[in-house]
Structure 1
Amino acid sequence: MTAPVLVCCSHGTDSPDGRAAVSAIVAGARDALGVPVRETYVDVQEPQVDEVIASFAQPAIIVPLLLSPGFHTAVDIGRAARSRPDVVATGTLGPHPLLAELLAERVRDAGLRDGDHVVLAASGSSRPEAAERVGEVRTALGALIPAPLTVGYAYGATPKVAEAVAAARRAGAARVIVASYVLAPGHFANLIAGASADIVTPPLGADRRVIRIVAERYREGLALLAD
């Protein structure tokens, strides 16, 4: 029996580096799982998730290559999953302990030292559940690094990353390190990079832990299909 298709659905980006990073995550998930895989998007790039789901007949598991729930998970991905009884959508990649571990590693690699303040920088959403999930990541990351930690958003929520950086400096931070809680280079990563922090960590990218989470979500989807 053919395994359900893994449909990796990301936001989409005009950035060549961002596209390459997402495709590397998809390729890593294909190698890890050994199942049929399709790459799709909710914005900017083609093909869109509705088109992809309509293009084949096999059962499918949509794994959002997104870090927090929001409009696109509820509307675009949700609509595609409801279009057929043999299609399910899993939760987003975050929050997850492995993402907190990866963020902590990036902050330590940036040279974290006494007097530094860390801003966890997420893309942002107007939906309250997105802020709640980012808050969970903040709590998990805070348990792993010995530094003050606040949250900022690139778009769609407040405080903005630049505001969080400025607030940290007013509070006496010697340096401000921004921990980029975005998946790949692109518009949101550029907004975060322009927030005047002393150090900005790179997007999460195709780290092995990100790929492990995609595989984990797929296996959760198998259980949903079996119900």
Structure 2
Amino acid sequence: MIPLVAVAHGSRDPRSAATVRALVRRIAAPGLDVRVSFLDLSAPLVTDVLRDLVRAGHREAVVVPLLLGSAFHARVDLPALVAEVPELRVTIADVLGADLEGVAFDRLAAVADVSDPGLGVVLAAVGSSRPAANEAVAALARRWQSRHGFRAVAAFASAAKPDVPAAIAKLRARGARRIAVASWFLAPGLLPDRIAEQARAADPSVVLAGPLADDPRVAELVLARYTTALAAARRSA
């Protein structure tokens, strides 16, 4: 089978890489060679993994980005890194994105009463310089609000507004009596920690949902992205 190379962003926080490695270990299909890699800050880098595949005699690979948004890393960084290994025919799968909405909502429901009309939810994400990526998170928050009846707004750890304190203030102004922070992060790390610190400083009673990667549905989605990308590559060959 064509190898699956899962690529995460990477982090200076070792918890992040450990979580990604655990996720990749859960991706299983008979005979499938699954490898973990990172764009930056953690090892092995995706370019090193692709070169290892070339040395092992592989001619093709499917790279699945372990990313929640189609922002700079997915649209620019990853294709540029893949292009550094021209000896390998690489198909890049879609990001994980909104297909993990159910996982994020279930994490929220594990810490907050989502039927509470007084609930205000901050959907916290990393933030991007690309407005469309931020709008995708904001649209998810609006969808939750429409479907479930609680107040919900997006907030970002960097590169975009509002930040978490501003989002909490907005929810309070709209009548929210209890605040929960939902996670749009795969793994723990420095930015999720920043989100948590800001949320607790703004409201000591806030409850915080956990990141998503250890839910079995994430590994299933990675495998589904691989299968879809591989089929597309076969059609175009």
The alignment's TM-score, normalised by the length of structure 2, stands at 0.86
Matched, 1:120 2:123: yes
Distance 1:70 1:86, change over 3 A: same
User: Counterpart of 1:54?
Assistant: 51
Quote the offset at 1:126 in angstroms.
0.5
User: Counterpart of 1:182?
Assistant: 185
Deviations 1:72-103 (A, max 9, x none): 1122211233443610111111111xx22122
Matched, 1:20 2:18: yes
Give the match's secondary structure for 2:53: coil
- Is the 1:101–1:144 contact (alpha carbons within 8 Å) kept by the matching residues of 2? no
Give the match's secondary structure for 2:188: coil
What stretches of structure 1 of length at least 5 have no aligned partner? none
| Partner Cα separation in structure 1 for residue 214 and residue 190 of structure 2 | 18
- Is the 1:67–1:182 contact (alpha carbons within 8 Å) kept by the matching residues of 2? yes
The alignment's TM-score, normalised by the length of structure 1, stands at 0.90
Matched, 1:220 2:221: no
Quote the offset at 1:186 in angstroms.
0.2
Task: Tell me how many residue pairs correspond in the alignment.
Answer: 222
RMSD: 1.8
- After TM superposition, the structure 1 stretch with the greater mean CA deviation from structure 2, 61-70 or 48-57, is 48-57
Matching of residues 62-73 of structure 1 within 5 Å: 62-73=63-74
Deviations 1:171-200 (A, max 9, x none): 221011110110000011111111225111
| Partner Cα separation in structure 1 for residue 143 and residue 101 of structure 2 | 6
Quote the offset at 1:140 in angstroms.
4.4
Q: Larger Cα Rg: Structure 1 or Structure 2?
A: 2
| Partner Cα separation in structure 1 for residue 33 and residue 156 of structure 2 | 35
- Is the 2:17–2:42 contact (alpha carbons within 8 Å) kept by the matching residues of 1? no
| % identical equivalent positions | 34
Quote the offset at 1:144 in angstroms.
4.6
Distance 1:88 1:165, change over 3 A: same
Give the match's secondary structure for 1:95: helix
Give the match's secondary structure for 1:195: helix
- Is the 1:151–1:159 contact (alpha carbons within 8 Å) kept by the matching residues of 2? yes
| Partner Cα separation in structure 2 for residue 65 and residue 218 of structure 1 | 11
Deviations 1:100-131 (A, max 9, x none): 21222222221322301111111111112312
User: Counterpart of 1:80?
Assistant: 81
Distance 1:140 1:4, change over 3 A: farther
| Partner Cα separation in structure 2 for residue 110 and residue 9 of structure 1 | 29
Amino acid paired to 1:179 = A
What stretches of structure 2 of length at least 5 have no aligned partner? none
Give the match's secondary structure for 2:98: coil
| Partner Cα separation in structure 1 for residue 29 and residue 147 of structure 2 | 28
